[in-house]
Chain A
Amino acid sequence: MTNTVLEAKNIVRDYHVAGGLFTKARTVHAVKNVSFSVERGKTLAIVGESGCGKSTLARILTLIDAPTAGELFIADKKVDIAHAGLPPEMRRKVQIVFQNPYGSLNPRQKIGDVLGEPLKINTDMPASERRDRAMTMLQKVGLGPEHYNRYPHMFSGGQRQRIAIARALMLNPSLLVLDEPVSALDLSVQAQVLNLLADLQDEFQLTYVFISHDLSVVRYIADEVMVMYFGEAVEYGTRDEVFSNPQHSYTKTLFAATPRADVDSIRARLARKKTAA
């Protein structure tokens, strides 16, 4: 058995926009021929700006939508939800965490039920065991048993993101798709959640697909980086390759646009300003 958890070959996703009374039907190519693979315990970061197709790709990887063309392998097994359907044991292997911690939890579900739901649907575990597992997971993500009976609105954004991560881990997935998991969080909370993700990766040998637009976060967390631009993967390599020697012009633009918070660049800017004045 190889160590590859996820492999995507030539994934394509088109959207057909139905024609209205005055407009023609047209096809939007959201993802164009994207291939990559991720090994167990590693993190692949997918970087791009809004509309580059990274969230569409996330939905395909999470087996929510089927690709228009291309092949997807999870743990060396081919997955084809459009034709063959989705076996439950596959469903359990991939889970997702969304960007917006306020929208991703059902407002009418207590935290205990949020965590217990995946087990209730997928296993015939008795309620007491589900409860125990949920309690254990709450502690793993840095919350306590006293949070079990609370509703989502009683939590801060960072805590909700912890709950969302806990829910994703309830089924022991091997692959976690993280769709901008920290971009809605404050800097200090962001650091905590990133640390939590790193801890969990070590503990469970999790594989991450980390989708983000924030290069500083990507540089911190990723092993491999893929840059997407208008549905295409314009750059794909290890983190050090991509950051030290970007090939595509878009990657270079992206790097140049990222604000730098180090003392040297501030000095340089102030000097420039002085000469201009």
Chain B
Amino acid sequence: MPLLEIKNLRVAFDTSVGEFIAVQGIDLSVDEREVLAIVGESGSGKSVSMLAVMGLLPDTATVTADSMTFNGRDLLTMTVEQRRKIIGRDIAMIFQEPIASLNPCFTVGFQIEEVLRVHMGMDRAQRRARAIELLQQVGIPEPEQRLSTFPHQMSGGQCQRVMIAIAIACNPKLLIADEPTTALDVTIQKQILDLLMRLQAEHGMGLIMITHNMGVVAETADRVVVQYKGRKMEEADVLSLFESPKSNYTKALLSALPDNATGDRLPTVSDFILDAPDGAPA
């Protein structure tokens, strides 16, 4: 049984000029211990479907799906209260901007312990011990001292480590990482990806990696979903995706990589894309 399973997801936003369809007809599933990458460019709706799962979309969004289950439980019929117990505990999420994702007014320790208090009901001493343990796990040196620092005193990479510590605080079954390394330097990106992969293996989590970077996909994923303009273009295991892409869009993406440049000029998507779904949101 898959950990998270979504069938025929559709998300639309109300705007001043009518309805805007962000994603349509999306089927997704992640198993335990699996790393699924969702790849797409801006406007592909790759974040929207995960935000819909988390219930984090603004009020203007309308979410419909044939089914949406997590660990066998139906997320669609669940009350807000029940869903809140799952979100942040069994499903955790980290975002692109690590510094903006942490509250600048509170110390790192406070923000980690808050999650533990809300979801785990630990007492003060337990929380502190667990927070130190978490910081150690994500590779932050001198965790005892770090508990009392504020986010602005740390680098972007360290903030992202703290975000990961908060995300794994309650031993989630599924971690959703939305462009976790896009705002970071290459050397830091490497460290964060290594950390995520290590934690994923150690905890046996499912991991959904949302990214636009084919390199990140190649370095992390087991299975890949390619999205374009709100629709799924292709789903394949990582090796066959890179070896023999089926959809023209994937082919285009791969050949637009400067690494794979053969001639004088790079091929662009318009050289390939003939099967772009009509009527899909632009």
Residue from B215, B266, B267 having most chain A Cβ neighbours under 10 A? B266
Q: Is the CB–CB distance between A261 and B215 below 8 Å?
A: yes
Q: Which of A195, A216, A253, A269 sits near B219, CB closer than 8 Å?
A: A269
A51 to chain B: closest residue by CB: B185
Q: Per DSSP, are chain B's interface residues mostly helix, strand or loop, or mixed?
A: helix
Task: Check A49 for interface membership: any CB of B closer than 8 A.
Answer: yes
Distance of A37 Cα from B193 Cα, bound (Å): 37
Distance of A189 Cα from B256 Cα, bound (Å): 9
Task: Check A124 for interface membership: any CB of B closer than 8 A.
Answer: no
Q: Smallest distance from the beta carbon of B180 to chain A beta carbons, Å?
A: 13
Q: Is the CB–CB distance between B242 and A262 below 8 Å?
A: yes
By a CB distance below 8 angstroms, the chain A residues around B268 are 188, 191-192, 195
Q: Is the CB–CB distance between A191 and B256 below 8 Å?
A: yes
A contact residues vs B (CB 8 Å cutoff): 49-50, 157, 186-192, 194-195, 198-199, 213-217, 219-221, 253-254, 256-263, 265-267, 269-270, 276-277
Q: Is the CB–CB distance between B242 and A266 below 8 Å?
A: yes
Task: Check B243 for interface membership: any CB of A closer than 8 A.
Answer: yes
Q: Smallest distance from the beta carbon of A33 to chain B beta carbons, Å?
A: 23
Residue from B187, B257, B258, B260 having most chain A Cβ neighbours under 10 A? B258
Distance of A259 Cα from B260 Cα, bound (Å): 13
Distance of A256 Cα from B191 Cα, bound (Å): 11
B182 to chain A: closest residue by CB: A183
Write the B244-282 contact mask toward A (1 if CB under 8 angstroms, else 0): 000000001110111111001111110000000000000
By a CB distance below 8 angstroms, the chain B residues around A277 are 201
By a CB distance below 8 angstroms, the chain B residues around A263 are 239, 242-243
By a CB distance below 8 angstroms, the chain B residues around A220 are 258-259, 261, 266
By a CB distance below 8 angstroms, the chain A residues around B260 are 261-262
Q: Is the CB–CB distance between A198 and B265 below 8 Å?
A: yes
Q: Which of B218, B259, B265, B269 sits near A195, CB closer than 8 Å?
A: B265
